[in-house]
Structure 1
Amino acid sequence: MNLLHDQWIPVRRRAGQRDWISPPQLSNPDIVAFAADRPDFNGALAQFAIGLLQSTTPADTPAEWRRLLTTPPAEQELSAWFAPVAEAFLFEGDGPRFMQDLTLSADEATLNPVAALFIDSPGENALRNNSDHFIKRGRIDSLCPACAATALFTLQTNAPAGGVGYRTGLRGGGPLTTLLLRQKPQSLWQDLWLNVLEGPLHRAHSGDAEKAALHFRFPWLRPIDQLQTGEAISPAQVHPDHVFWAMPRRIRLDVDDVHAGECDVCGRHSNTLIRQFIAKNYGLNYKGAWDHPLSPYYEAKGDWLPLHPQPGGLGYRHWLAWLLGADDTKSRQRPSRVVTHALNERKRQMGGALRLWAFGYDMDNMKARCWYDSSLPLYGLDECEADALRTVSSCVSSWLSGAQSAATSLRGAVKDAWFGGDARGDFSSVDAEFWGRTEASFYQLLRQSLEALRADPLADVDELAVRQTWHAALVRTALDLFDHAFVGTGPIERQTPHRIAEARRKLLNNLYGNKMREALRLPSPEKPATRRTRAASAQA
């Protein structure tokens, strides 16, 4: 099996039917999306396809990139792109195999069930302690080669901490990935190509473009000690393509002990179901200034580190940082290189309304808490000039500061009403509900502002009335959630009226207080006239 020749990628065609294709068919205009049976597989397949195109494209200029966006290469042309790297995508055999350790043997490794390829599978401790309450053991016992290849790539790309010597991925465990897609799907090719950089731009980051030998790009083609000569591997030791094909885990699938039956993931029949693999610790240890083009980054002590999903999900509170960057004193963030290049250089060349697809695992060390998958609309942001982008950034930064202040105040008020000020616990559901309830109001203001700026780059979208409208939405939502969702719905015999009244009074004060007004740049309320000032006014 060769992953560049065989039809193993599940896709959805324009009429809705599901099909399986080979990579050279990715440019077929009838194909609109990936159609795997797991959302993390869809995210992995998107990164596989983008990485493959980026690693093989001859497009080195903006003009070539634009031409290929609207006129995709034919299947034969894509086959020619991929031919020079075909040996790196063999999936079986005695020699190098895709994403598998070249020298690993059964007598030096541990035998594992194929379910261990899945990040959300219960670990050894959970199985030993019978604590697999939500994600049960025994769900996956056998995989067809197509699903095994996808599971392997998904693990290597997202690899979390796995014990002593079991390395995390190049971006750490469960990285956040952000991709630009059409707002309304047109073709899978266009969605993929929007995230491919011109060759020189890609090769200028995270690697040495002079290291063009295949094993510097696809690390499974050589023993790992020929790549990693010390305790870690840095960008200077490999080609820039390596960021898409990082291999932190030493794994080799058992393709000899196979049987016939139905795959436990896709349900298709296969004569070569894979049930186990061997693994060993101390794989490639990624250290240094790696800069993955599909991930946003944050600054920590002078270094830029890849972002990871956190509890609470993905939503509009991330819109600014992941599209334009955030430069506040607490947390500097920057978008992925693909997003920055699209908004700064490509602009109207991308030809249509776009959205940002963000996804990734929320990891608690080696345990997967949740898979997050969300889309954020751009509303024509890519059509705005530089001055308009700065205006949008300033406005949205203020709106988000106000929303964060309101969310914090609501959480504190709910805690005070329920338990009093010294209570501890997880109140993240309060924040999540608040952000979810205010999302529609945020996007309505954002769409109106961007429409105005596209029509007139000098339009005043930061006027006081807009900020007051947003403030009113925040206040209304916070009070409604306090009264009707969290506090007011509890059994009356369990409530403490005095504590609830005091918590609500404090919430009101905070929603109209100085911190909120500073965040939204609202004027201070007029102070009521005193007896002396009223008398002076009457005499005048």
Structure 2
Amino acid sequence: MPFSLLNDRAFPVVCRSGARRWMALPEIAAAVDNPESDYAVEFGWPRPDLDMASFELCVGIVHLAFDIRDEDDWNALWSNPPDAAVVTQKLQPLLPAFTLDGSSDGDHPRFMQDLEPLEVGAKAADINPVEALFIDTPGQNGQKKNADLLTHRDRYAALGLPAAAIALYALQAYAPSGGAGNRTSMRGGGPLSAIVIPVAQADGPPVSLWRKILANVCHAERLKPADLPKALPWLAPTLTSDKASGGRLVNPDKAGEAHPLQAFFGMPRRIRLVMAEAPGRCALTGEVGPLVTGFVQKPYGVNYGVWQHPLTPYRRQKEASEPYSLKPKSGRFGYRDWISVTVGREEGLLSEPAQTIRLARRQRAHALADGGADPRVRVGGWAMNNMEAIAYLFAEQPLHLASSASKQVALDDMARRLAAAGDLAAAHLRSAIKLGLFGPASAGTDQGVLALAHATFYEETEAEFHDLLQDLLASADREPSADPALDLSRRWLSRMRRVALDIFDRLAPVPLDDMERAAPLTAAYGRLRAMFEGRGKDGAALFTELQMAVPAGAKKSRTKEDAT
């Protein structure tokens, strides 16, 4: 029997009890609102990139099966989630498209694989090891130079069919640069994904995995059954991008070529998996069964034009310029990044949150935050250096959903102000330490003690940032006796001041026994403290960002401060 991602137990999950099991998609949907059931609450792959890929795949499958065209359709799906029997029925027409190893009579298609049988007649030298499906597997150049220090070669000699299927999906969904003709994903190499994670009420049962999937279903144009190959490109001959095709670009608005739902099923790489002759043990999961040992790849697959994936935030250089996907950083995900992913920045590089985040914040707050539990935003993605993976970013932060559109606008404005003020304070802290330690001479600010000061400031102010936004939400639901925004700005200023001065003391202590070295450090510390008192042009800029009046005494000293 061929292996199917729709009715076989293709997904490892963590259940409410903490038990780990393998489930088929209809089983994940079972008993979703039954408090007595040991239902699935998370995916349980040994790798977070496969967990995120499983979310995206399942959201895409729900789109195909349930035809969600507007918010009314989504509300009906959310209010009355389908049980396992309904899901099984809805998936039935899709079964032939989601088999990994072909049909029982040897015919195609095969999930996420080229319709052309590339593996037939392939020489041993043409077959890539199956672990090369993972983005963090060192490339041939890295292996030749023995540069695979953080991510090693020879980790996964063979993969079971479930692991091979989701690894293949992850590669197609996040494909980085891969040499001549090896196309990147439709979001570019190493995109950031952002999904909504509903949270349980206090003392309530945990939210099911099925509801977490449904929370990220957006809207899409109707897909006619005859047009399924326009969403699932492995059902038709590949729209190649070699010279013979004129370097064809595939766009969602180009008539006759692609449906917008192909965003969930993009296939930039022409790949066919090579199956082992005998069953064995999966090197990733430890499960015994049929194995995949390698794959054959051919260049010049689908070259995607301008697409916007529903689960990825984007940026634009200008209002009318083309969007490009946000990319993860190798460091931590802080509130500066949170702004771009959930709220969007209005200055500098214009950023636009993912469609699922926008819907949650503008139209779904009542449904997702039922009972007062605030959903979270989960982000994941590979930080890349061209073709080499640096680190996988995986993080969660509060989403901060307000109870009305006007309150959400007020909260978003406050969030931008707090973050912008944090940027000013962090930059001035770094400059003060640089001046105190190195003087006017140039010193790199992206490494050493200066980079540490910058990163530590954001880390130590992050909890207060989210606490202030949560307090603003709470105050919006009652009649405040004073201006809550002004109170929050004052609290934020106080927190930033304490953190910045403390970091300066730790990283650039004044040597009391060396007056020559102490003098510039003392002066730099004084300038930093003055900024938080509203003195000087930096202090005025900080108070303006927080919409606070500059203290009268600080105004009188600004001319003298600026002159120095």
What corresponds to 1:300 in structure 2?
317
Return the offset for 1:27: 0.9
Residue identity in the other structure for 1:2: S
Distance 1:339 1:2 in 2: 31
Distance 2:312 2:68 in 1: 22
Deviates more, 1:242-251 or 1:519-528: 519-528
What corresponds to 1:98 in structure 2?
111
What corresponds to 2:56 in structure 1?
47
What corresponds to 1:386 in structure 2?
405
Return the offset for 1:38: 0.6
| Pair 1:283-2:301 in alignment | yes
**TM-score, structure 2 normalization:** 0.85
DSSP 3-state at the match of 2:390: strand
Task: Indicate if the aligned counterparts of 2:59 and 2:213 stay in contact, CA closer than 8 A.
Answer: yes
What corresponds to 1:5 in structure 2?
7
Alignment of 1:31-42 (within 5 A): 31-42=40-51
What corresponds to 1:182 in structure 2?
198
Distance 1:394 1:103 in 2: 52
Q: Name structure 2 gaps, 5 residues minimum.
A: 33-38, 201-205, 534-538, 557-564
Residue identity in the other structure for 1:519: E
Return the offset for 1:233: 1.0
Identical pairs, percent:
32
Return the offset for 1:52: 0.4
Return the offset for 1:473: 0.6
What corresponds to 1:158 in structure 2?
174
| Pair 1:222-2:236 in alignment | yes
Q: C-alpha offsets along residues 244-281 of structure 1, whole Å, 9 cap, x if unaligned?
A: 000011111101x34444322112223x2222111122
What corresponds to 2:203 in structure 1?
none
Task: Indicate if the aligned counterparts of 2:118 and 2:298 stay in contact, CA closer than 8 A.
Answer: no
Distance 2:163 2:444 in 1: 43
Q: C-alpha offsets along residues 405-450 of structure 1, whole Å, 9 cap, x if unaligned?
A: 1111222333444544312263344332211110111112111101
What corresponds to 1:533 in structure 2?
none
What corresponds to 1:469 in structure 2?
491
Distance 2:436 2:547 in 1: 29
Distance 1:92 1:460 in 2: 63
Alignment of 1:172-321 (within 5 A): 172-184=188-200, 185-197=206-218, 201-203=219-221, 212-225=226-239, 230-231=246-247, 232-235=249-252, 236=254, 237-255=257-275, 257-270=276-289, 272-288=290-306, 290-301=307-318, 302-321=321-340
Distance 2:488 2:239 in 1: 60
Residue identity in the other structure for 1:183: V
Task: Indicate if the aligned counterparts of 1:148 and 1:274 stay in contact, CA closer than 8 A.
Answer: yes
Return the offset for 1:40: 0.6
Distance 1:281 1:499 in 2: 59
Q: C-alpha offsets along residues 460-480 of structure 1, whole Å, 9 cap, x if unaligned?
A: 4322x3212111111111111
Cα gap change, 1:368 to 1:503, in 2 (>3 Å): farther
Residue identity in the other structure for 2:316: E
What corresponds to 1:435 in structure 2?
458
What corresponds to 2:157 in structure 1?
141
Distance 2:428 2:357 in 1: 33
Cα gap change, 1:430 to 1:250, in 2 (>3 Å): farther
Distance 1:529 1:9 in 2: 63
Distance 1:111 1:159 in 2: 19
What corresponds to 1:516 in structure 2?
542
Alignment partner for residue 371 of structure 1, among 377, 392, 408? 392
Cα gap change, 1:473 to 1:276, in 2 (>3 Å): same
Distance 1:49 1:431 in 2: 39
Cα gap change, 1:56 to 1:210, in 2 (>3 Å): closer
| Pair 1:113-2:140 in alignment | no
Alignment partner for residue 94 of structure 2, among 82, 85, 104? 85
Distance 1:25 1:191 in 2: 15
DSSP 3-state at the match of 1:279: strand
Task: Indicate if the aligned counterparts of 1:342 and 1:382 stay in contact, CA closer than 8 A.
Answer: no
Residue identity in the other structure for 2:389: A
Distance 2:99 2:416 in 1: 48
Alignment partner for residue 451 of structure 1, among 474, 484, 504? 474
Return the offset for 1:210: 6.7
Residue identity in the other structure for 1:372: L
Residue identity in the other structure for 2:359: H
Give RMSD over aligned pairs. Answer: 2.8
**TM-score, structure 1 normalization:** 0.88
Q: C-alpha offsets along residues 70-94 of structure 1, whole Å, 9 cap, x if unaligned?
A: 4321212111111112111110035
| Pair 1:526-2:552 in alignment | yes
DSSP 3-state at the match of 1:103: coil
What corresponds to 2:559 in structure 1?
none
Deviates more, 1:138-147 or 1:318-327: 318-327
Alignment of 1:325-344 (within 5 A): 325-328=344-347, 330-344=348-362
Task: Indicate if the aligned counterparts of 2:418 and 2:546 stay in contact, CA closer than 8 A.
Answer: yes
Cα gap change, 1:114 to 1:529, in 2 (>3 Å): closer
Task: Indicate if the aligned counterparts of 1:6 and 1:22 stay in contact, CA closer than 8 A.
Answer: yes
Return the offset for 1:517: 2.0
Aligned length: 514
DSSP 3-state at the match of 2:159: coil
Cα gap change, 1:481 to 1:83, in 2 (>3 Å): same
Distance 2:85 2:554 in 1: 78
Task: Indicate if the aligned counterparts of 1:210 and 1:239 stay in contact, CA closer than 8 A.
Answer: no
Distance 1:432 1:135 in 2: 25
Distance 1:499 1:246 in 2: 57
Q: C-alpha offsets along residues 46-82 of structure 1, whole Å, 9 cap, x if unaligned?
A: 1111110011114556455334324321212111111
Task: Indicate if the aligned counterparts of 2:436 and 2:508 stay in contact, CA closer than 8 A.
Answer: yes
Q: Name structure 1 gaps, 5 residues minimum.
A: 531-540
Return the offset for 1:127: 0.8
Alignment of 1:403-418 (within 5 A): 403-418=422-437
